[in-house]
Amino acid sequence: MKAAEELSRLLESHGVHEIFGNPGTTELPFLEELRQRYYLTLHDAIALGAADGAAQVARGVAVANLHAAPGLGNAIGFLDSARRNRSPVLVTVGQQDLRHADQNPLLFGDFEAMVRGLVKRFHEVRRPEELEEAVERAVRAALEAPMGPVVLSLPMNVMEEAARPTPFSARSEFATDEDVQGIAARLRTSSNPAIVAGYEVDVFDAFAEVGELARRLGAPVYAEPICSRSPVAEGLPNFAGDLLPQSAYIDSMLGAYDLVLLVGADLTLYPYSAAPLLSRERLAYLGSDPSVPTKLHCDRALGELRRLLRAVLADLPASGRSFRRPPDFGRANRVARAASRMGGEFVVDAIHRAFPDYTVVDESVSLIPTMKSVGFYRGKDSYFSSRSQQLGWGLAASIGISLRRPKTVVVVGDGALQYSIQALWTLARYRLPTKVVVVNNTSYTILKSYSKANHPRLTGAEYLDLPGLDIEAIARGYGLDANTVDSSERLDGALAGLRGKDGPALLNVRMDRTVPDLFS
Amino acid sequence: MKVRAVLPPFLPLEEIERRVNAILPGVDVVTSVDAPGKIPPAEVEVLILTTFHDFTASALTAYPSLKFVQVASTGYNRVDVEACRARGVMVANIPVANSKTVAEHVILLALALLRDLRGLDADMRRGEWPMLTGANDLAGKVFGIVGMGRIGRELAARLVPFETSTIYTDVVALPAEEERRLGLTRVELPELLSQADLISLHLPLTERTRGVVGAAEFGLMKDQAVFINTARAELVDPLALRDAVTRGKVRAGLDVYPTEPPDFSDPIFQAPGTAFTPHIAGVTFEAQQRFLQETVKNVLRYVQGKEPLYRVDAPSAPP
C-alpha cells in the first residue's frame, strides 16, 4: 500500500468522504489512490471555502486539497476566514519532490512560512511512517476547541512510497473548567444581567440551554457582533437583536447591564471608536475560545459550551425577573415603503418568506443587517456567514454546506458574487441543488455607505459602481438555470420559481441602488 | 320609476334637485321622511336618504310600494335594515365616497394633537412666541387602527409614508399580500390598545360594537395616547371617555358625539389635549360631489333593472 492510499484510508476513518480541490501535478500521486469523492472547483480558494462550509455544517473535519505554493497562495484569504470561522478544515497541499528541494524547483515553497499565524498546526510529512501520527495530530488539533484549520504538506515522493503505519492514539475531548461555579455565582448575584450569544451555540447545539439560561435570568439575549451562525433558536422571546461591531454601539446597547455574559461569543470590533469597551468587571465568558476572555481580561470558564451551560444551570435558580423583546411593528411599514423601489427591506422580506425551511448562506454584504433582523436565525444549521466578512466565501462555502443540506440558499451581492464566481460551475457540475439569489444593486454599496459616513467625497466615485455585468448570462455560461427579476410585482413569483427548480439555479434580483446609512 | 330624496334642509336643495333631475327626471326632493311631497309616499319605489333622518319600521309602513332604499352616506344605522329586509326592500349605502376624506381627517387630528396645534395657535393669537413645545413626531409611533374596512385601509395607506408602525384589529384579517402592501400587523384589541401611541376607531355601529371602548379599554392605553373617533360616538362609553380625557390619561380627537350638536357644558370641551370637529370628517366639497355622483349611479342601476351595488340588507353584507 502506498502512503497516498494510507492517507486516504486514515481520512476515511475520520469521516471524510469527500475532498474539494483543484489539482495540479503535485497532487496526482495522492489523487491516484483516493477513496473519497473528489469535488472539482475551478479555483483553489473555492476548494478551501467549500471545505470550510462542509466542516461547519458537519461539525467535523473537511478536507481541501490545494496545489503547491501557487494554490496555497491563492487560498490564503479563505484560510484566514476558516481561522476566524473556527472551522476545522484540514488542508492538504501537494509539495514538490523533496529529493530536489535544495534546487528550489518549480512549485516548491516554504508552506510553513506562508501559513504562519493562520493555522492551528502545520506539518510536512517527510517520511511515510510519520503519516498516521501527522493525520491524527492534525485532526485532533483541528477539532479541539477552539476549532480551526490545519495544514499538511504532502511531498510527491512521500506519497509514492510504501506506507509504514505507526499506530497512534489521539484523544479529543473538552474539559470543563472549575471556573463555572464562579460564573454561576456572579449570575446569581447580578441584578440586571444580559447575554451575548455567539456562533458556538450552533456549533455545540446549545440552543435549549441558552433559552433556559435566558428564561431563568429574565435577561435579553443579544447576538454577538458579526455573528456567523444562528445564536438562538427560532422564536426565542428573549432575543433582542444583533450587536453592531463598534465599541460605542456595544456600550450603548449593553451599558445598562451589571453583568454581560458572553456565551460562545466574541466582541468583534470595526470600525474604530474612541469609546472604551465595557469594563472587564462587567464581562464574563463561557465558551471554547481562550483568546476572547484573554483579550477582554474577563472571568472565564473554558470548555465545550453545552456542558458549561448545563453546569451553570445546575446551580442557578430562577431569578423572578422576566424579559420579552418588544414587538417590531415598524418592520411591516419599512417593507411596505421599500416595495415600490425594490428596496432592501422588501427584497429580504420576500426571500425570508420564500425560503422558510432553507439553510441560508448570507453574503448580502450591505443587506446583512436587514437579513439578520427579519428572522433568518432559525436554530441549528439555519444561517451561515463568514466571521471574516471575506467576499467570495459564501458561494464557495455553499458547495460544502449543500452536500449535507440540500435545501441551501445563498444570498449574495453582485460584487461579492464575482470573487468566487467559478463556484457556480462546481454547483452545476455536481448538480448540487443550491439556490443563489443575487441581490444586485450594481455597486459596492457597503463602500458607498461607509464613504457616505466617513469620506463623503468618495460616494460618487465611479470605481464603486459595477455596470455592465450580465449576471444571468454569466450564470448560464457556467451551466446554471438563471433568471432576472426587476419588479416588485414579480418578485414573489420569481423566488417561487427559483425554489421550484430541481438543480442549482440563480435569480438575479435587480434592486434599489439607494445607499443605506449603515455607518452613521 | 317614482323616486324620492329626503335631504336635510341646509343643503342647496334646488341645485341638487336640478342636477339630479337632469339624469333622473321626476325625482321628488323633500326634507322629511313623512313629507307629502309631489309623489305620495304610498307610490314611492325608490327612497334616497342621508344620515340626518331616521327610517324606522313604522315609517316604512307609509311606503307600501317601496322596493329600494339608497342611503347617500357610509353610515346607515338610522335605517331599520331588518324591517326593510323583512319587507323585501333592498338597502344600499355608499361606502366609497368619503373613505379617503375621513382618512385625511384622522391624520389632521393626529398631527394637531401630536404637535399641539391648538396650543401654539392660541399662543400666537395672544401675541406670544413660544420657544418650546411638547410636540411629538408621527414617524416611528405605533398607530392602532380598530376596524380595517375601507376607511381603515385608506388610513393605513396614508400612514405608510409617515413611517408609523401600524397595527390593526378586525374580526377578518386582510389577505397577507394586502397587509404587506399597507405595512400592517394584525393584533388582538387588548394588545392594540396597550401598544399603540395613537388609536383610531373605524368600526360600524352594531350591537356587537356598541360601547366597545369603555373604562377597561382606556385603562389599557398608554398614558398620553392619542384617541381618535371619527366613526360613531356610540362605540365609546362617553363617561369613560370624559374621565380618561379630563384626567389627562389620553388625548382625544373627536368628530362624533352622543348627541349632535353635543352638550357644550360637558367638561371634556375644556380639557387640554383635545381637538374637536363637528361630525365633518367625511364632509368635503369633493366628498359631497362623490356621494351625489355615486348615489345617482346606484339608483340608475336599479332603475335600469340591475342589482344595486353596496347592498347592506343581503346576507353577506357587513355586520
Domain count, chain B: 2
| B-chain residues near A328 (CB < 8 A) | 165
Whether B248 is covered by a domain: the verdict is: yes
Q: What is the pLDDT of residues B290-316, one digit of tens each?
A: 888 899 999 999 998 999 999 999 755
A437 domain residue, yes or no: yes
Please answer whether residues A386 and A81 qualify as being in contact, where contact means their C-beta atoms are separated by less than 8 angstroms.
yes
Answer yes or no: do A207 and A154 share one domain: no
Nearest CA-CA partner of B171 in B156, B186, B181, B184: B186
Per-residue pLDDT reduced to its tens digit, A482-496: 999 999 999 999 999
Position A515 in a domain: no
pLDDT in tens, B55-93: 999 999 999 999 999 999 888 889 999 999 999 999 999
Residue carrying C-alpha cell 422564536: A235
User: What is the nearest CA distance from A183 to chain B, expressed in angstroms?
Assistant: 37
Whether residue A319 is contained in a domain is answered as no
Residue A263 lies in a domain: yes
Assign residue A149 a region: left if phi > 0, alpha if psi is -120 to 50, beta otherwise? Answer: beta
d(CA B82, CA B88): 10
B166·A332 Cβ contact <8 A: yes
- pLDDT tens by residue, A37-63: 999 999 999 999 999 999 999 999 999
Pairing mode, strands A221-223 and A150-155: unpaired
B299 and B262 assigned to the same domain: no
Shared domain for B170 and B265, answered yes or no, is yes
Nearest CA in chain B to A339: B181
| Full-model pTM | 0.83
Are A276 and A422 within one domain?
no
A490 occurs within a structural domain: yes
For strands A259-263 and A283-287, give the pairing.
parallel
Query: Would you mind telling me the total number of residues written for chain B in this entry?
Result: 319
| Residues on B contacting A at a C-beta cutoff of 8 Å | 140, 142, 159-161, 163-167, 179-185, 195
Q: Contact B160/A336, CB-based, under 8 Å? A: yes
Task: For residue range A187-226, list pLDDT tens digits in order.
Answer: 999 999 999 999 999 999 999 999 999 999 999 999 999 9
ipTM reported for the complex surpasses 0.85: no
What is the rounded distance in angstroms from the CA atom of residue B209 to the CA atom of residue A35?
74
Confidence bin at B288 (pLDDT 50/70/90): confident
What is chain A's mean pLDDT, rounded?
93
- B29 with B105, same domain: the answer is no
Shared domain check, B297 and B191: no
Asked if A179 and A300 count as a contact pair (C-beta separation under 8 A), the reply is yes
B49 and B179 fall within a common domain = no
Asked if B17 and B27 count as a contact pair (C-beta separation under 8 A), the reply is yes
* Cβ(B216)–Cβ(B98) below 8 Å: no
- Report how far residue B78's alpha carbon sits from residue B228's, in angstroms, rounded to the nearest whole number: 23
Q: Are residues B155 and B89 in the same domain?
A: no
pLDDT grade for A172, boundaries at 50, 70 and 90: very low
Q: Is A329 an 8 Å CB contact of chain B?
A: yes
Contacts of B164 in chain A (CB under 8 A): 330, 333
**For the stretch B308-319, what's the b/e string if a residue is b when 16 or more beta carbons lie within 10 angstroms of its beta carbon?**
bebbbbeeeeee
- Report which residue type is found at A321: R
Would you tell me how many other CB atoms lie within 10 Å of the CB of residue A190?
Answer: 20
Residue B250 counted as domain residue: yes
Domain identity same for B59 and B125: no
Whole-number pLDDT of residue A454: 83
Last residue of a domain, one of A280, A313, A346: A313
| Exposure string over A404-421, b if 16+ CB within 10 A, otherwise e | ebeebbbbbbbbbbbbbb
User: Would residue A169 count as lying in a domain?
Assistant: no
Q: Give the domain extent around A128.
A: 3-160
**Does B110 share its domain with B230?**
yes
Same domain, B169 and B216: yes
- pLDDT tens-place string over residues B4-20: 999 988 888 888 888 88
Question: Per this entry, what is the length of chain A?
Answer: 520
B33 within domain boundaries? yes
Residue B310 lies in a domain: no
Give residue B134's pLDDT.
84
Q: Domain for residue B319, yes or no?
A: no
- Closest approach of chain A CAs to the CA of B196, in angstroms? 10
Residues A52 and A400: their CA atoms lie apart, in Å, by: 7
| Residue A349 contacts B, CB cutoff 8 Å | yes
A99 and A223 belong to one structural domain: no
Angle in degrees, CA A8, A24, A34, rounded to 5: 15
Instruction: Tell me what pLDDT residue A21 has.
Output: 93
| B7 and B150 housed in the same domain | no
Report the residue of A333, A335, A347, A352 to disrupt the B interface, i.e. the one with the largest count of B CBs within 10 Å. Answer: A333
DSSP secondary structure of A248-266: HHHHHHHTT-SEEEEES--
A339 contact B CB<8A: yes
CATH code: domain of residue B227: 3.40.50.720
**Strand-strand pairing, B198-201 and A359-363:** unpaired
Specify burial of residue A162 (Cβ count, 10 A radius: 0-12, 13-18, 19+).
exposed
How many distinct structural domains can be found in chain A? 3
Do A342 and A491 fall into the same domain? yes
Beta strand spans in A176-269 (E):
193-197, 221-223, 239-242, 259-263
User: A378 φ, ψ to 5°?
Assistant: -120, 25
Residue A174 resides in a domain: no
Amino acid at A435: K
Model pLDDT for residues B171-218, shown as the tens digit of each residue:
999 999 999 999 999 999 999 999 999 999 999 999 999 999 999 999
Residues contacting residue B20 through CB under 8 Å, at least 6 positions apart = B5, B27, B29, B292, B296
Identify which of A328, A336, A349 has the shortest CB distance to residue B182: A336
User: Tens digits of per-residue pLDDT, A235-250?
Assistant: 999 999 999 998 889 9
Question: Is A170 part of a structural domain of the chain?
Answer: no
Cα angle A270, A273, A277 (rounded to 5 degrees) comes to 90
Question: A327 and B183: CB-CB below 8 Å?
Answer: no
Cα dihedral A426, A366, A256, B137 sign: negative
Residue B87 has φ and ψ, to the nearest 5°, of -90, -5
**A340 CB near a chain B CB, below 8 Å?**
no
- Is residue B315, in this structure, part of any structural domain at all? no
Considering the domain architecture, whether residues A44 and A136 belong to the same structural domain is answered as yes
Mean predicted confidence (pLDDT) in A157-167: 84
B143 neighbors A297 (Cβ within 8 angstroms) = no
> Does residue A341 share a domain with residue A490?
yes
Residues B131, B17 share a domain:
no
Which of A287, A313, A339 is the last residue before a domain boundary? Answer: A313
Same domain, A358 and A421: yes
Residue-number span of the structural domain to which B16 is assigned: 3-93+285-303
Query: Cα B148 to the chain's mean position, in Å?
Result: 13
How far does the CA of residue B152 sit from the closest CA of chain A (Å)?
15
Helices and strands, number each (H, E), in chain A: 23, 18
Q: Is residue B312 situated within a structural domain?
A: no
Active-site residues of B, by number, are: 232, 260, 279
Please report where in the chains the cell 466617513 appears, as a residue.
Answer: A454
Instruction: Please check whether residues B84 and B123 belong to one and the same domain.
Output: no
Q: What CATH number has the domain bearing residue A131?
A: 3.40.50.970
Asked whether residue B316 is assigned to any structural domain, the reply reads: no
